[in-house]
Structure 1
Amino acid sequence: MERSNFFVAAFLVIMLGTAASAEPISVRHIQRPMHRFMAARSEAGKVIATGEFTQVVQGDEVTMRMIYRFVDGSIDDETTTYRQQGTFRLVRNHHIQKGPFFTKPIDFTIEAATGIATSRTIDRNGRIHVESKHMDLPDDLANGIVGTLLLNVPHNTTPFRVGMLTPVGGGRLVKLLISPESEQTVQLAGQTLKATVFRVHPELGGIVRVIARLLGLQPKDVMVWVLEGEEPAVAVVIGQLGGYGPVVSSDLVETSIEK
């Protein structure tokens, strides 16, 4: 199952280094229509949100939506369209976070073909403000599709980087470093399955580090468990929603990690 996407959309990271590649990821597993359910838990193990994932395919274009509904009424809603034609290419991404769980609401849209990023905010008087800016976006832009990319890299892949456009300042282009960490097993629907654990690491430095500190955005590493096999799936994701705040564990329903 393709997953995603919902932890990395607002991460702050810095410039591309020399130790890891930034090549487009080749399509090894064609994504198909699907409908799955997730559960998000606090560090104490309490269920704080239920998630619903849908994926629709038209030709080589895939549109997926991951929405989390929190018990406190908050919403994390991300819709992403990409093309799977030789390599993966983002078409558009729209990410909304709102409600008491999120101290910094987000309504951020990216149109990759035109390079237009649009932020929508509401001031304390209830007025809506829309800001759009044009940017030169890289081919490896991965907003909303990090989970898809992890389904298509070998479990022993070398570390690689992908582009990420964060909503900071109306849109700041940064990088994520992704590395395989280990192999573990997970329990899913009564089956014991092998999984590769990937680390998604935000590299903070320079002015980005200063901005992150000033805004209270202190992103931590995200850990992702990807099931191996002919139809790989993201089973568990542990990290911060939006790159800040409490650490949350999100997993396929009835999934557990074997220690």
Structure 2
Amino acid sequence: MESLLFSQRIASHKLNVRVRHLLRRCSFLFAGLMVAVWAIALPAEPIAVRHVQRPMRRSMVARSEDGRTIANGEFSQVVQGDEVTMRLTYRFVDGSLDDEETTFTQRGTLRLVRSRHIQKGPFFTKPIDFTVEAATGTATSRTTDKNGNIHLESKHVDLPNDLANGFVGTVLLNVPHDTKPFRVRMLAPVGGGRLVPLVISPQSEQTVYLEGQAIKATVFRIHPELSGIVRVIARLIGLQPKDVSVWVLEGDDPAIAVMVGQLGGYGPVVSSDLVGTSLGK
């Protein structure tokens, strides 16, 4: 009798262990499912225009992670009707170049027209010359062989309305500082052009000093969501985008003060600042 009761207790214990293990697995699966559902549920639509862009010119500086000045930059913005063309060029002390020119429209919502991004020189792991034409859905990569010959490779991509190549900063100027997390997409120069979702969310508020004046800023986090073949290809060719932090000055005329991340979403991490800007302690 005691032997039977002992066997029943052992069987009951094993059953309880299996049940707890099953419940634990179910909870993990449920949590993973909720994360996936949360990511899918994030809005991914064109951003409404809240602050109309105007012509401007700004001086920028890029610093390495240890604080050394590695490049001087110039930002310009030209407006013709509802069309805005912006260009950000960094010339590095080692002779490298980062040059990005983007045209978009601001008719109610922000819509990409075209974007071209060039990175070349010893600072960058891999040279980039990548153009996106939104109207035709054409992505073009330009490469130069060892003999100096230029090769063009074009690919058609079905582009979404929330594509934000080259003007993610402008997107941040047009969302409330307390916005809920949302998503835009970027066409990355991987495999001739691959769409990468960018999950954007406000993280905190911090004081920024611009020419000695204290201004409140919202810190946004931009998280690239790489998955599947895009992640594999990006790792193989050395283009692995990391999270980016952006400090946006609040007020009636918001502006990007500081960006810490990779220029264009790939390459080494740098701090890209408006000249005369410093972060509060």
TM-score by length of 1: 0.91
Hey, what does 1:229 align to over in structure 2?
251
Distance in 2 between the 1:58 and 1:251 partners?
A: 27
How far the C-alpha of 1:118 sits from its partner, in A, is 0.9
Q: 1:146 to 1:242 in 2, by over 3 A?
A: closer
Identity percentage of aligned residues? 76
Q: State the alpha-carbon separation in 1 of the partners of residues 186 and 266 from structure 2.
A: 16
Matched, 1:87 2:117: no
Larger Rg: 2
The structure whose residues are more often helix, as a share, is: 2
Deviations 1:20-77 (A, max 9, x none): 2112111000000001100000111110000101111010000111000000111100
SS of aligned partner of 2:202: strand
Equivalent position of 2:175 in the other structure: 153
Residue type matched to 1:49 in 2? Answer: A
In structure 2, the partner of 1:135 is 157
Q: CA deviation at 1:126?
A: 1.9
What amino acid is aligned across from residue 271 of structure 2 in structure 1? Answer: S
For the aligned residue pairs, the C-alpha RMSD in angstroms reads 1.3
Counterpart selection for 1:179 from 201, 209, 228 = 201
- Determine the structure 2 residue equivalent to 1:36: 58
Question: What are the equivalent positions in structure 2 for 1:61-140 lying under 5 Å apart?
Answer: 61-140=83-162
Give the secondary structure class of the aligned counterpart of 1:208: helix
Following superposition, the deviation at residue 19 of structure 1 comes to: 4.0
The answer as to 2:252 corresponding to 1:220 is no
What is residue 13 of structure 1 aligned with on the other side?
Answer: none
Q: 205-214 or 168-177: which moved more?
A: 205-214
Partner of 1:52: 74
1 CA distance for matches of 2:161 and 2:41?
19
SS at match of 1:217: coil
Q: Contact conserved, 2:191 with 2:233, CA < 8 A, in 1?
A: no
Compare relative contact order (CA 8 Å, sep 6+) and give the higher one, 1 or 2. 1
Change (3 A) 1:257 1:218: same
Deviations 1:163-208 (A, max 9, x none): 1111111111221111100000100011000000000101222222
Q: 1:201 and 2:223 equivalent?
A: yes
Residue 6 (structure 1) aligns with: none
TM-score (norm 2): 0.84
- For the 8 Å contact 2:196–2:224, the answer to whether it is kept is no
Contact 2:125 2:238 in 1 (8 A): no
Deviation at 1:103, TM superposition (A): 1.8
Matched-pair contact (CA < 8 Å) for 2:197–2:225: yes
For residue 114 of structure 1, report the CA deviation from its aligned partner: 1.0
Aligned equivalent of 2:279: 257
Match status 1:240 vs 2:253? no
How many residue pairs were aligned? 244
Whichever structure has more strand as a proportion of its residues is 1
Residues 1:168 and 2:166 are matched in the alignment = no
> Aligned equivalents of 2:133 and 2:242: distance in 1?
27
Q: Which amino acid aligns with 1:21?
A: P
Cα distance, 1:244 vs structure 2: 3.8
Match of 2:17 in 1: none
For the Cα contact (< 8 Å) 2:166–2:264, is it kept in 1?
Answer: no
Deviation at 1:242, TM superposition (A): 3.9
